[in-house]
């Protein structure tokens, strides 16, 4: 009986453990903000935002070919709305900046197309509405990223077009790396090419370091087989033979076969006699 009396109240209660997301990461600027940041301020804002976006994400080393190509891959945004936009240039440039901030890349990697004052029926009526399609490589369209960007981009469109989020549709379309090309190369092809180039550079560096180490080792090794060095102003005769006896300032004798053998050193170098 007690459980039955409590169940209606429990079923109507909602416990909120998180607050509503109403802003981006620190350093971001609203899409409709009247003040435009300088390129230096934009870059600083992107660096600040990157920490909060990727602090707990598993990332490859920044020097990897895949990360380099991913950071330069294009992001395409297509906007269709029945709203008449009086200043297309401002709306497009502000949206491009917002996308570059969200996806952590320069505006050179952002493409924005806008079709406005279109005949658009949304939810059975022709009230102001829009559709926004984001197309890019799959690594930039992860579920958690899409969840956050859906909220922030809908608020940006509300500020830019004056259309509330419930009258907008946002689609995230992943494009496989082998199906997205720019500059005459697919993303996967550019990645493979850069990986080969990096591997070639690494191999060349290893060979150079190996040769340098071998050269240093040979310079440190003691000299072998050096002949005695004498004063150039004197001519010394040195005689070497098996069982030689000392005579004067040299050696002389005979080998096992009884043949005299000697080496005479003069100023011009050793000479066999």
The DSSP letter of residue 156 is: H
The percent of the chain in helix, strand and coil, each rounded to the nearest 5, is: 40, 20, 40
Which tops the pLDDT comparison, 13 or 195?
Answer: 195
- Sequence spans of domains, the chain: 27-195, 236-272
CA angle (68 as vertex; 63, 74 as ends), nearest 5: 170
Say which residues have a Cβ less than 8 Å from residue 27's Cβ, sequence separation at least 6. Answer: 44, 45, 46, 47, 48, 49
Confidence of residue 130 (pLDDT cuts 50, 70, 90): very high
pLDDT value, residue 71: 78
- Which of 106-110, 189-193, 217-221 has the weakest average pLDDT? 217-221
Residue 47 pLDDT more than 50? Answer: yes
Greater confidence (180 vs 134) lies with: 134
Q: What is the pLDDT of residue 187?
A: 83
pLDDT of residue 227: 54
CA-wise closest residue to 36 among 107, 97, 109, 108: 97
* pLDDT 10s digits, 146-204: 999 999 999 999 999 999 999 999 999 999 988 988 888 888 888 788 777 766 766 66
What pLDDT shows up at residue 206? Answer: 74
Structural domain 27-195, CATH architecture: 2-Layer Sandwich (3.30)
Residue listed under structure tokens 């199906």? 179
User: What is the C-alpha to C-alpha distance for residues 165 and 199, in angstroms, rounded to an integer?
Assistant: 48
> Using one digit for the tens of pLDDT, what is the confidence trace for 232-273?
555 544 444 444 444 444 444 555 555 554 544 444 455 544
pLDDT of residue 151: 94
Based on C-alpha coordinates, what's the Rg of the chain?
40
21 pLDDT exceeds 50? yes
User: Tokens at residue 255, please?
Assistant: 């080998």
Of 31 and 39, the one with more pLDDT? 39
Structure confidence at residue 50 (pLDDT): 62
pLDDT tens-digit map of 61-104 = 446 767 777 778 899 999 999 999 999 999 999 999 999 999 98
């Amino acid at each position: 009986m007690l459980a039955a009396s409590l169940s209606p109240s429990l079923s109507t209660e909602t416990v909120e453990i998180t607050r509503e997301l109403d802003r981006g990461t620190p350093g971001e600027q609203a899409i409709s903000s009247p003040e435009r940041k300088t390129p230096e301020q934009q870059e600083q804002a992107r660096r600040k935002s990157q920490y909060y976006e990727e602090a707990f994400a598993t990332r490859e080393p920044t020097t990897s070919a895949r990360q380099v190509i991913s950071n330069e891959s294009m992001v395409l945004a297509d906007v269709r709305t029945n709203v008449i936009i009086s200043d297309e240039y401002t709306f497009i440039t502000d949206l491009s900046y917002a996308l570059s901030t969200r996806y952590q890349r320069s505006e050179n990697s952002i493409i924005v197309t806008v079709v406005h004052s279109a005949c658009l029926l949304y939810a059975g009526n022709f009230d102001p509405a829009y559709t926004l399609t984001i197309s890019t490589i799959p690594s930039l369209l992860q579920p958690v990223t899409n969840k956050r960007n859906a909220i922030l981009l809908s608020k940006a469109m509300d500020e830019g077009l004056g259309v509330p989020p419930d009258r907008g549709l946002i689609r995230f379309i992943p494009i496989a790396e082998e199906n997205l090309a720019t500059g005459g190369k697919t993303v996967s092809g550019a990645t493979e090419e850069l990986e080969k180039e990096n591997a070639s550079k690494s191999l060349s560096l290893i060979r150079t370091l190996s040769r340098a180490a071998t050269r240093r080792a040979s310079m440190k090794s003691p000299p072998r087989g050096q002949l005695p060095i004498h004063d150039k102003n004197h001519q010394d005769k040195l005689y070497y033979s098996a069982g030689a006896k000392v005579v004067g300032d040299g050696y002389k004798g005979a080998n096992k076969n009884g043949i005299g053998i000697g080496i005479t050193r003069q100023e011009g170098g050793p000479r066999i006699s």
